[in-house]
C-alpha cells in the first residue's frame, strides 16, 4: 500500500448502514411504491439513469428540505467509522464519491474531515425540494476519482476505492487497489482486490 495516497469511499452501504440515502428518504416520506416503479423502468432499460433520478426526486418536490435532512441524519453509520476514518486521515487524502444524496455526504465530510464529498444534490427553492443536480451518474465514479486524483498531481492508480455495488465498478477499474465491502451482488467481485463480508469498517485497516 506504499503507493496509495488517496482513498475513495462509497457512501451508502460502506460509510452508512441501511438501505441507502435515496431509499431512506422514500421510506421516511412514504414514496417507496412509486420509487419501485422508477427503479424497474431503469433496470429494464426503459429509461436512462438521468431520467430515473429526475423521476425519483420529483416525488419529493415541495417537501421541506429540513424534513429530508432530518430523515438522513437519523440513518445509522457503519460500525467502525469513528475509529477508521481518523486513522486513515493521518496517512491519506480521503474522499466520498456517491450516487446517494449530498446532504448525508456533506454531513460526514464535516464530522470526519473528508477532503472531498461528491454526491447528488437536491435543488431547493424557498426551503423546499425543487429538483436534482446529478453530480454522480451510474457510470461516473471512475471519471470523478480520476478528477480528484488530478487535483493532487497523482494518478488513479495511486488511489484505493471501497464500494459495494455495480456503480462502483468504474471506480474499481481505474483505482490501484479496491475493496468490495459487503457487496450487494457478485458482479463487483470480478473487479475487487479484496472482499470483506462483515459490517465493521475497521476491517479495512488491515489493508492500509
Domain boundaries of the chain, sorted by first residue: 6-17+77-120+131-207, 22-73
CATH code of the domain occupying 6-17+77-120+131-207:
3.40.50.1000
Which pairs with CB-CB distance under 8 Å and at least 24 residues apart come from 29-34?
A: 29/59, 29/60, 29/63, 29/67, 29/68, 29/71, 31/59, 31/60, 34/59
Active site residues: 10, 12
- Cell numbers found for residue 198: 462483515
Mean pLDDT in residue range 25-33:
94
What does the H/E/C string look like for the chain?
A: CCCCCEEEECCECCCECCCCHHHHHHHHHCCHHHHHHHHHHHHCCCCCHHHHHHHHHHCCCCCEHHHHHHHHHCCCECCCHHHHHHHHHCCCEEEEEEEEEHHHHHHHHHHHCCCEEEEEEEEEECCEEEEEECCCCCCCHHHHHHHHHHHCCCCHHHEEEEECCHHHHHHHHHCCEEEEECCCCCHHHHHCCEEECCCCHHHHHHHC
pLDDT in tens, 44-90: 989 888 898 899 999 999 999 999 999 999 999 999 999 999 999 99
Q: What is the pTM of this model?
A: 0.94
C-alpha 67 chain-centroid distance = 21
At residue 42, the pLDDT reads 86
Describe the crossing of helices 21-29 and 32-43 by its angle, rounded to 10 degrees. Answer: 140
Mean pLDDT in residue range 109-115:
97
Q: How confident is the model at residue 1 (pLDDT cuts 50, 70, 90)?
A: low
At residue 49, the pLDDT reads 81
> What gap in Å lies between CA 76 and CA 27, rounded to an integer?
15
Parallel, antiparallel, or unpaired: how do β-strands 93-101 and 177-181 relate? unpaired
> Percent of the chain having pLDDT more than 90?
89
At residue 180, the pLDDT reads 98
Q: How would you list the strands of the sheet with 6-9, edge to edge? A: 128-133, 116-125, 93-101, 6-9, 159-163, 177-181, 194-196
C-alpha 173 chain-centroid distance = 16
Instruction: Decide: residue 172, CB within 10 A, 0-12 exposed, 13-18 middle, 19+ buried.
Output: buried
Amino acid at each position: 500500500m506504499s503507493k496509495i495516497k488517496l482513498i475513495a469511499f462509497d457512501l451508502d452501504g460502506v460509510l452508512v448502514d441501511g438501505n441507502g440515502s435515496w431509499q431512506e428518504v422514500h421510506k421516511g416520506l412514504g414514496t417507496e411504491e412509486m420509487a419501485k416503479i422508477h427503479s424497474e423502468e431503469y433496470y429494464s432499460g426503459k429509461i436512462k439513469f438521468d431520467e430515473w433520478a429526475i423521476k425519483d426526486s420529483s416525488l419529493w418536490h415541495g417537501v421541506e428540505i429540513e424534513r429530508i435532512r432530518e430523515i438522513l441524519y437519523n440513518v445509522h453509520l457503519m460500525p467502525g467509522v469513528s475509529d477508521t476514518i481518523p486513522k486513515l486521515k493521518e496517512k491519506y487524502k480521503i474522499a466520498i464519491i456517491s450516487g446517494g444524496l449530498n446532504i448525508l455526504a456533506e454531513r460526514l465530510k464535516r464530522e470526519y474531515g473528508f477532503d472531498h464529498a461528491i454526491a447528488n444534490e437536491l435543488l431547493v427553492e424557498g426551503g423546499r425540494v425543487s429538483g436534482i443536480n446529478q453530480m454522480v451518474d451510474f457510470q461516473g465514479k471512475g471519471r470523478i476519482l480520476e478528477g480528484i486524483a488530478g487535483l493532487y498531481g497523482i494518478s488513479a492508480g495511486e488511489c484505493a476505492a471501497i464500494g459495494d455495488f455495480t456503480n462502483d465498478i468504474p471506480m474499481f477499474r481505474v483505482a490501484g487497489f479496491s475493496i468490495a465491502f459487503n457487496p450487494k451482488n457478485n458482479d463487483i467481485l470480478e473487479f475487487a482486490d479484496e472482499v470483506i463480508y462483515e459490517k465493521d469498517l475497521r476491517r479495512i485497516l488491515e489493508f492500509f
